[in-house]
Amino acid sequence: MSDDNSDPKKGAGDKILAMRANWSFDGDTPDHFVAHLRRSVPLYDLGHELTCQLSDFFVHSGSTCYEIGVSTGELIRRLADHNAHKPNVRWVGMDSVEAMVARAREHTAGYGNIDLLVDDATTFEFAKTDFFVSYYCVQFIPPRLRQPLFDKIYESLNWGGALVLFEKVRAPDARFQDISVALYDDFKRGQGFDDSEILAKTRSLRGVLEPYTTEANREYLTRAGFRDIVSVMKYVCFEGFLAIK
């Protein structure tokens, strides 16, 4: 009997190979990552624009600001440009994947106020800061490490500082989850992915991408100490949160 599980490598689209239950951001993935995200994540660029607009309220002259999961540097460069009129703002981006950081360094070459680190946010010691952003990153961090990370983010923020958090989210019950998955699959087909690419990507993310519900994400933030939390963007199973200390 034929079983396509016998071939562990399937294309996820955009020249990205996807290993079953072993999605990787390494290898050639950075070469095609942004194009893939723009086809895969609804409102991807609009979320970047919104994050920049939100930064207006929290980034001040002399602020140190962090992006967790900098990937190829698209967002941190845009944030630096958006806030370029404010003196002495320092942007620190980190990613655990060296190939991603290498591409981000190319993308931000010439920006003296952007520091890019190959590092793990769950063990990194943050300086006091006014602004954190994590754009679809925490969903890839093992669940056992997420609460300590949110705790550390909260403690590192100055009073009045903020975290902008974008995450893929699960629906609150099985019926809504079925609807959510169906709508998202339709979205991807509309972006030109075929069913084999959609299936390959889904299989590759098993045990790697662990989204939580909106309420569970709020509970993480509340346990960390945040009390002022609002949803700033939502498209089916993709959501942006603003949490202020």
Query: How many domains, the chain?
Result: 1
Q: What pLDDT score was predicted for residue 13? A: 43
Q: What pLDDT score was predicted for residue 217? A: 98
Q: Which parts of the chain have pLDDT scores under 70?
A: 1-32
The phi and psi torsions of 222 (rounded to 5 degrees) equal -65, -45
Cβ–Cβ contacts within 10 Å for residue 235, how many? 15
C-alpha separations of 225 from 44, 86, 158, 170, 215 in Å: 28, 29, 13, 23, 15
CA 99 to mean position of chain CA atoms: 17
CATH number for the domain spanning 222: value is 3.40.50.150
Q: What pLDDT score was predicted for residue 142? A: 94
Residue 203 is encoded by which pair of tokens?
Answer: 């299989």
Is residue 228 domain-resident? yes
Range of the domain at 96: 13-244
pLDDT in tens, 72-104: 999 999 999 999 999 999 999 999 999 999 999
Is residue 7 domain-resident? no
Is residue 79 domain-resident? yes
pTM here is 0.89
Q: What pLDDT score was predicted for residue 34? A: 77
Is residue 198 domain-resident? yes
Residue 238 is encoded by which pair of tokens?
Answer: 């993709």
Which residue, among 91, 93, 92, 94, has the nearest Cα to 83 in the 3D structure? 91
Is residue 5 domain-resident? no
Q: What pLDDT score was predicted for residue 31? A: 61
Sequence-ordered list of residues with C-beta below 8 angstroms from that of 2, at least 6 positions apart, any chain: none
Spatial contact of 51 and 164, defined as CB atoms under 8 Å apart: yes
Is residue 8 domain-resident? no
Is residue 117 domain-resident? yes
pLDDT in tens, 127-156: 999 999 999 999 999 999 999 999 999 999
Is residue 6 domain-resident? no
C-alpha separations of 193 from 17, 114, 139, 151, 237 in Å: 14, 35, 22, 38, 18
